[in-house]
Chains A and B, each alone.
Chain A
Amino acid sequence: MEGAVLEIENLSAGFDGKDVVKGVSLEIPANKVTAIMGPSGCGKTTFIRCINRMHELAANAHVTGTVLLDGEDVYRMNPILLRRRIGMVFQRPNPFPTMSIYDNVIAGYFLNGTHMSKSDRDRVVEETLRRVALWEEVKDSLYRRGTFLSGGQQQRLCIARALAMNPEILLLDEPTSALDPKATAAIEELIAQLKGTVTIVQVTHNIPQAARISDFTAFVHLGELVEFGQTNKLFTVPKDKRTEEYLSGKFG
């Protein structure tokens, strides 16, 4: 595919010898939103955790297959460096509770021991918070702990934390499942704005959300990639029967 930034070939992964992801091959296009959609427990989260090599940190985990980022084999790189090129946002907002909002944004640099001048730090914090549309809301309380923020604001802070590292890819693991509808809408709007500058892969089991925000959708069921294509096409004329059944709510 033209402009594919992530090439995944025959990826299988799981725990204790059992595969949760079975032979998935996929190409993720650059600077677009790709939704990984499917019923709960079908391996979606495990799949994206293989991209930034978080899956292998679990006990008794195994991975086979290839993942290429810009043509480089991800499993031959040092995982620490890899994770700086890929950002991750989790299901429940989890800003570091012992750090202020300011420090949370640049946490990636802090944790990596990178020294930054005050002006650099200020610049990154303001730019990133503006990028996630949080700057105006928190600019007067930057040095307070982030725990007083609402769920939606906390999640935007977590997105900022990931974006501050200027990743090529942003992995979102059901980022709105713990949020109320208003906050969900704000995050969806943000994702739409971000996609031109970063590649987004979003796991979701919320069908309408996938239809709303993604350019491409991959439907995964029981660990296998059932169908992949442009969202509007997949949703209106699905090629696989299983996709059609899922979209019409027959299961999941």
Chain B
Amino acid sequence: MVRIRNDYGSTFRSLLVLVGLAVSVLLAAIFLSLFLFSRPALLNNGLRFITGTEWNPVTGKFQALTFVVGTLLTSFIALAIATVLSFALAILLGYYFRTGALASVMKTAVELLAGIPSVVYGFIGLFFLVPIVRAFQLVLGMPPYGVGMLTASILLAFMILPYSASIGREMISLVPEDLKEAALSLGATPSEVVRKVSLPYARSGILGGVLLALGRALGETMAVTMVVGNSYNLTLNVLSPGNTMASLIANEFSEATGEVYLSSLIEIALLLFLVSSAINILGKLIIKRTSAAAQL
């Protein structure tokens, strides 16, 4: 008689499902924790939290507009710089030089940029970029802070660049050959082909990459903290010191006392969580749609 062994198939499958559940529950727990622990602040601060600019732990006023503006300003300027550079890299490595020694070296260089720790960026920024900006400001007759939102933006741009560049390169290399050939056969020059055929085709995919880069920029902490100047005044002048949501938390969290204070910082973290998650998901969605369409 043949003995039928229990192959543990159902146990295995159940274990897998359990793991999947665990991860999903983890995310839910993260969100819930952030929400629950920011409740005291939500109740205390109300809507003034994002409309007011007074952040004073001593008097118990917690209003985060300064930091929201600082985050948006630095992120979008960084995004602008990074997008221009990403386009160049994407076109160079996805169209002009898809193979070859130059291409591999540059691809690796860009990937390595993503691997450098945030503190190291901040350190370099502090000792290399800040003096340059300071000199620049002296020449322009402005207060030579050196640190400031522009400095932070420049640093940020290089940190987020690998994300949009590598996705952009992939999207441009997905453009079908026969479309490019059709354009060439009509008498177009290579740059006309990439500008008027490849880029429009890869447009939405590139946008997805840009959104992912934005998501990274919003949450970047250490490098920004080290060069942004950490001021509490709301200003739109990028050459002056500023502050971002992430760097505020980094600076104050370990010393925060009092339930409302701590809770307000957690409220900022909750805001960061929601905004960056939304942008990340949107970016991923756009990329998935574009890649799926290109495979057809």
- The contact of B186 among A98, A99, A111, by CB within 8 Å, is A111
Please, how many angstroms separate the alpha-carbon atoms of A165 and B187 in the complex?
A: 10
> Is B193 located at the chain interface by the 8 A CB criterion?
yes
Which of chain A's residues has its CB closest to B179's CB?
A94
B117 within 8 A of A: no
Identify which of B181, B188, B200 gathers the most chain A CB atoms within 10 Å of its CB: B188
Proximity string of chain B (173-206) to chain A, C-beta cutoff 8 Å, 1 when within and 0 when not: 0001011011111111100110011001101000
B residues within 8 A CB of A210? none
A90/B178 in contact, CB under 8 A = yes
Contact A111 B185 (CB under 8 A): no
Q: Check: A162 CB closer than 8 A to any chain B CB.
A: yes
Whether the pair B178, A83 counts as a contact (CB closer than 8 A) is no
Task: Please give, as numbers and ranges, the residues of chain A lying within 8 Å of B187 by CB-CB distance.
Answer: 80-84, 108, 111-112, 165
Count A-B pairs with CB separation below 8 Å: 65
> Which chain B residue lies CB-closest to A91?
B178
| Least CB distance, A72 to chain B, in whole angstroms | 16
**Is B184's CB under 8 angstroms from A96's CB?**
no
Contacts of A83 in B (CB 8 A): 184-187
- Name the interface residues of A62-121: CB closer than 8 Å to any CB of B: 80-84, 86-88, 90, 92, 94, 96-99, 107-108, 110-113
Which of B186, B192, B193 touches A165 (beta carbons < 8 Å)?
Answer: B186
Q: Is A54 an interface residue (CB 8 A)?
A: yes
Number of contacting residues on B, CB 8 A?
19
Shortest beta-carbon distance from B110 to chain A in Å: 24
B192 contacts A111, C-beta separation under 8 Å:
yes
CB closest residue in chain B, given A98: B200
Interface assignment of A161: CB less than 8 Å from any CB of chain B = yes
> Does A52 contact B189, Cβ atoms closer than 8 Å?
no
Question: Are A96 and B185 neighbours in the complex by a CB distance under 8 Å?
Answer: no
- Bound state CA distance, A218 and B179, in angstroms? 29
Q: How far is the CB of A152 from chain B (nearest CB, A)?
A: 17
**Chain B: CB-nearest residue to A82:** B187
Contact across chains for B182 and A113 when beta carbons are under 8 A apart: no
The reply to whether B189 and A96 form a contact with Cβ atoms under 8 Å apart is no
- Chain A residues with CB under 8 Å of B185's CB are 52, 54, 83, 86-88, 162
Q: Is the CB of B178 within 8 A of A161?
A: no
What residues of B have a CB within 8 angstroms of the CB of A97 in the complex? 179, 201
Residue among B176, B179, B185, B203 with max Cβ neighbours from chain A (10 Å): B185
Q: A97-B201, A112-B192 are in contact. Are A54 and B186 (CB under 8 A)?
A: no
Q: A108-B186, A111-B186 are in contact. Are A90 and B201 (CB under 8 A)?
A: no
- What is the distance, in angstroms, from B184's C-beta to the closest C-beta of chain A? 7
Point out which of B179, B181, B187 has the most chain A C-beta atoms below 10 A from its C-beta.
B187
Which of these, A81, A82, A90, contacts B181 with CB under 8 Å? A90
- Complex CA–CA separation, A162 to B200 (angstroms): 21
Is residue A132 within 8 Å, beta carbon to beta carbon, of the partner chain? no
Most chain B CB atoms below 10 A, which of A87, A97, A99: A97
Contact of B189 among A80, A88, A165 (CB under 8 A): A80
Q: Decide: A94 near B176, CB < 8 A? Known: A110-B196, A111-B193, A112-B192.
A: yes
- What would be 18 A-B contacts, judged by CB atoms less than 8 Å apart? A54-B181, A57-B184, A81-B187, A83-B184, A83-B185, A84-B186, A84-B187, A94-B176, A94-B178, A94-B179, A98-B203, A111-B183, A111-B196, A112-B188, A112-B192, A113-B192, A165-B186, A165-B187
The 6 tightest CB contacts between A and B, nearest first, are: A84-B187, A88-B185, A108-B186, A111-B188, A98-B200, A83-B187
Instruction: A96-B197, A111-B196 are known; give 6 further A-B pairs, CB within 8 A.
Output: A90-B178, A96-B183, A98-B201, A107-B183, A112-B187, A165-B186
Binding site for A on B (CB under 8 A): 176, 178-179, 181-189, 192-193, 196-197, 200-201, 203
